[in-house]
Amino acid sequence: MRILNVHDAQQTILRRRAWDEINVPPRLLDGIEAIFGQRITPDEAVRRILADVRGRGDDSLREWTLRIDGVALDAMAVSPAQIAAAYEQLPGQVVDALRLAAQRVEAFHRRQPAVSWIHNDEQGTLGQLVRPIQRVGAYIPGGTAPLPSTVLMTAIPARVAGVEHVAVITPPRRATGLPHPAILVAADIAGVNAVYIGGGAQAIGALAFGTASIPAVDKICGPGNIFTTLAKRQVYGIVGIDGLPGPTETLVIADDGADPQLAAADLLAQAEHDVLASAILLTPSIRLAKLVQAAVLSQLEELERAEIIQGALANNSGIVVTESLAQAFDLANAYAPEHLCLLVDDPWSHLGQVRNAGGVFLGERSFEVLGDYVAGPSHTMPTGGTARFASPLNVLDFVKIVSVVGVNEAALQAVGPAAETLARTEGLTAHAAAVARRLRGSG
């Protein structure tokens, strides 16, 4: 794991790149060419798949699942009997862990206020109605690392918000033609209404447009690879989306007293997600930087996903030696990481310095892996620097606000003239007339 100075880091691992600046790996383009017979961009591949799903529905979903995933789909929906059978395929301790995580995620989100309010005074009534979205679809990755935890982190906040119908769609495994049993069990524990089989852009298209077997939803949430993320971007406006999640990322700020073994473990845990993942350490201590570098090499030998980790460490990861902790926080706020881990003395005293982050993890006992599974907040967090303006998935993502206006005659006479003046200023004479007729009588 390389050690960088601040200047070099700002030009490389701390530099945010726009979607259109990302270099597509040749291997990915090779895969597209093998499927489409042309070397087209991922965005164009997604566009073609979505158009096909929109036009042919179930038949298209079956065809793309066979071509991309190598699975011939029979039914699109997983049956209750298949979900019940999934419990028998999991060790009891896994089921217990999922239930514990679900309880904590639900308890956390039930504390989040999302309330309607009405205010009455001498001029009438103003307020807002908070209403849940009716239908939500959650895309759950099922590739090299199936993510049952993501089912809990997306479906439970939606259910707490009062969403009427929560559906999950997730890719099949070649061996069985069904999703991973842990995903099915998590969906059942989370109270999901339906589980459908499908992956990639075709799954996003099915949720957005609807097919004979899969009803359209109002909003799509959940992470995925480049194809699902591009698909979400292309269907936005037809449906709502939670965001455009990119590769996962952790930024650790550590001082000289931090445990290098724990800092290394946290970086490696993030790097094993994906070769495009980012695992970055900021520290003013060159001594700690070298110890963490050595610990990463030592611990890497014990890990199963070493090849993926090595790719992530070589691409978007590194150790940055800063002039001070204050500079480290400035760099962190500019980077706006998905996860910000504070391995520093008295982390609570530094919380006020944090402006941009999806989640803050305070101290060596509050590490990010706990947030992935059992802490309580959703682990679906803003990536790619979007923590500057976006939030982790939460109850408010699954409700909408309806404004309530009920003014009386006194209010009309008090504020109507200003409305008429502003309408005329904007050149909207019909607007002005609608006010004037009420102020001066309908004639």
Active-site annotation, residues: 338-339
Asked if residue 322 lies in contact with residue 331, where contact means CB atoms within 8 angstroms, the answer is yes
Reduced 3-state DSSP string for 59-125 = HHHHHHHHHHHCCCCCCCECCHHHHHHHHHCCCHHHHHHHHHHHHHHHHHHHCCCCCCEEEEECCEE
For helices 80-88 and 181-189, give the axis angle rounded to 10 degrees.
Answer: 110
Q: Which residue has the tokens 């995933």?
A: 69
DSSP 68: I
Give the number of other Cβ atoms within 10 Å of residue 101's Cβ. Answer: 23
For helices 226-235 and 42-56, give the axis angle rounded to 10 degrees.
Answer: 60
Cα distance between residue 111 and residue 394, in whole Å:
11
Asked if residue 198 lies in contact with residue 216, where contact means CB atoms within 8 angstroms, the answer is no
Chain center to CA of 313:
22
Cα distance between residue 159 and residue 166, in whole Å:
7
For CA atoms 216, 220, 226, 230, the dihedral sign is: positive
Task: Extract the runs of DSSP E, i.e. beta strands, from 296-398.
Answer: 318-321, 339-343, 359-362
Cα distance between residue 100 and residue 206, in whole Å:
32
Asked if residue 107 lies in contact with residue 389, where contact means CB atoms within 8 angstroms, the answer is no
